[in-house]
Structure formats: C-alpha cells, structure tokens
C-alpha cells in the first residue's frame, strides 16, 4: 500500500512525506473489518466533525 501512498502522481502529494500515510492505512484497515465497517468508520469520524 505504501508505494501507492507515496506516489504524488496519484494523490498530488507524497502522503508519507505529508505525515498522512499512517492515518490513511489505519482508516483503510478499519474499513476492511467486516460487513458494515465502511459505514461505521465514516460515521465514527464524520460525527466527530459534525456532531448531530
């Protein structure tokens, strides 16, 4: 996964250099946890930014 995250042609910036690669990998792993995991991960982090 790191070769993708460090490719500035894909993301416009090297995400490892920008200090974001670990966060992207952590979120990706959470989203692969099982059925409904993507929805739960997005809800978990969106609710933190937009409390209802």
Half-sphere exposure of 39 (CA within 13 A, CB side): 3
User: Whose CA is closest to 27, among 10, 12, 45?
Assistant: 45
Per-residue pLDDT of the chain (52 residues; tens, 9 = 90+): 999 999 999 999 999 999 999 999 999 999 999 999 999 999 988 887 776 5
Query: Which pLDDT score is estimated for 8?
Result: 97
Query: Which pLDDT score is estimated for 19?
Result: 97
Query: Which pLDDT score is estimated for 47?
Result: 85
Query: Which pLDDT score is estimated for 52?
Result: 59
């Amino acid at each position: 996964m790191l070769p993708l995250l460090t490719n500035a042609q894909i993301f416009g910036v090297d995400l490892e250099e920008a200090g974001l690669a670990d966060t992207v990998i952590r979120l990706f792993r959470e989203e692969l946890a099982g059925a409904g995991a993507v929805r739960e991960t997005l809800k978990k982090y969106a609710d933190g930014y937009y409390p209802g």
